[in-house]
Structure 1
Amino acid sequence: MTKLIRKVSLADRIANLLRGEIEEGKYEVGQKLPTEPEMVRIYGVGRSTVREAIRALANIGLLSVQQGSGTYVERQSVSEESMEHRMGRANIRELNEVREILELKIAEKAALNRTDVDLEHMEKYLEQRKFFAQSGDLTNCIEADINFHLAIAKASHNEMLYDMYRAVSAHMKKWFQRNHKDTAPLVESHERHVVLFKCIEAGDALNAWKAIELIIRLI
């Protein structure tokens, strides 16, 4: 049987070398790394290779790149990629699947546990969503949409569900901003959001579940 050998890029090699130096204590937490030209000289590679290596280590939370300031050691080691960074490189299909799983349970719990104050918050953001969607204000419409769903997550009165959804929604928001050219999709989905709100208001967990499924299909 032929064994497949993964080709390691030069950037991967530099990233692994730098990671080893950090883990061995050559660079301490909070310490600024050498500048890009210095690293080009130290490792004998091109700028693009250095940038790619730095980006790879930043993606797993080992480094922090601060524009205009430099690159700093964020932590001494990472046993695995943080969930926040993993979400950051997820594609929309992955994010949407996670979002769907969370929102189905959140809608159910919100319908069962919501308070009058929770409903007031949801309704406020739902009205904002409609106003900004109809007026063509994409930025504020996306913000209102995210806040509406976060209000539902808060109404579940499960802090873990809320925290998980908040992390996912931050990346969904970025995806919406990159991929929506206007508010047309948000106008189209608004009535389904109204149905979702009414189901939660009525304490109808089953139909709140179904309403979320219909909303997610439009994405």
Structure 2
Amino acid sequence: MQIQRKTLAEEVAERLLEGILNDEYIIGEKLPIEPELMKIYGVGRSSIREAIKILLIKGILSVQQGVGTFVVSKNAQESLETQMDKAKLEDVLEVRSILDAKIAGKAAAHRTEEDLKTIKMFLDLRNKLADDRKALECYEADVNFHVSIAKACGNSLLKEIFIIASKHILSSFEHRHDNDTQPFKISQKIHTDLYLAIENKDSEKAEFIAQQIVDRIY
């Protein structure tokens, strides 16, 4: 499933953390510079930077401006994903619903042509699967439609929170769906309207439509 794949940055973060736990990188020691890390892990600069950001959030690394990135702990703080694992589904749904409108508005402002292709692909797939009465697959396409909007929003933190929340919501749906695709057919038009607002870079309209989807006004 697309939203569950690990990114290169996540894989690098895991390998970096393994190195820290195995004392390849000692607490208080500065990490190698970016070009060296790129050679060690065989990835580009953006993946290295994103991996470091992941470990910064977990409290494993600390950046000193103009000096470098240092190992400060072996004990990761409880991740957002772990916290969502423990949270009630209603709370996770609330988090996602609060973010939907803001993300849609930002996506309208920042989307690229490539983003639009991905969003449209999942919009069309959602429609086809609804017609084919494949509820679980249709819900996956619906989640990926909204995730692709989050990926276009230009804010990596909003994107990550939204993806984590969506993954947990999808997991719950897998255990309770009843093969009814009628709600997806009914809401296809408003999802198309959301896509068009993003395509037209109309942030205000995108926010309004996204909130209507959250409130199920369609």
TM-score, structure 2 normalization: 0.60
- Alpha-carbon RMSD across the aligned residues, in angstroms, is 2.2
Alignment partners' CA distance in 1, 2:188 and 2:168: 21
Are the structure 2 counterparts of residues 186 and 91 from structure 1 closer, same or farther at C-alpha, using a change threshold of 3 Å? farther
Larger radius of gyration between Structure 1 and Structure 2: 1
Which of 116, 119, 124 is the aligned partner of 2:116? 119
Q: Secondary structure at the match of 1:179?
A: coil
Alignment partners' CA distance in 2, 1:92 and 1:185: 20
Alignment partners' CA distance in 2, 1:89 and 1:151: 25
* TM superposition shift of 1:178: 2.6
Which of 129, 133, 146 is the aligned partner of 1:149? 146
Which of 157, 163, 179 is the aligned partner of 1:166? 163
Alignment partners' CA distance in 2, 1:218 and 1:180: 18
Paired residue for 2:190? 192
Alignment partners' CA distance in 2, 1:125 and 1:185: 16
Alignment partners' CA distance in 2, 1:178 and 1:192: 26
* TM superposition shift of 1:94: 1.1
* TM superposition shift of 1:123: 0.5
User: Superposition pairs for residues 197-216 of structure 1, below 5 Å?
Assistant: 197-216=195-214
Q: Secondary structure at the match of 2:142?
A: helix
Q: Which runs of 5+ in 2 are unaligned?
A: 1-20, 22-73
Alignment partners' CA distance in 1, 2:175 and 2:214: 18
Contact 2:136-2:177 within 8 A present in 1 as well:
no
Paired residue for 1:103? 100
Asked which structure has the greater RCO (Cα within 8 Å, sep 6+), the reply is 2
Which of 130, 134, 145 is the aligned partner of 2:131? 134
- Paired letter, 2:161: M
Q: Secondary structure at the match of 2:204?
A: helix
Are the structure 2 counterparts of residues 180 and 192 from structure 1 closer, same or farther at C-alpha, using a change threshold of 3 Å? farther
Contact 2:108-2:203 within 8 A present in 1 as well:
yes
* TM superposition shift of 1:188: 2.2
* TM superposition shift of 1:78: 7.2
* TM superposition shift of 1:158: 1.7
Alignment partners' CA distance in 2, 1:99 and 1:175: 14
Contact 2:100-2:214 within 8 A present in 1 as well:
no
- Paired letter, 2:155: N
Which of 80, 83, 87 is the aligned partner of 2:84? 87
Are the structure 2 counterparts of residues 144 and 184 from structure 1 closer, same or farther at C-alpha, using a change threshold of 3 Å? same
* TM superposition shift of 1:113: 0.7
Q: Which runs of 5+ in 1 are unaligned?
A: 1-28, 30-75
Alignment partners' CA distance in 2, 1:168 and 1:131: 25
Paired residue for 2:178? 181
Alignment partners' CA distance in 1, 2:126 and 2:199: 18
Counting aligned pairs with the same residue, the percent is 35
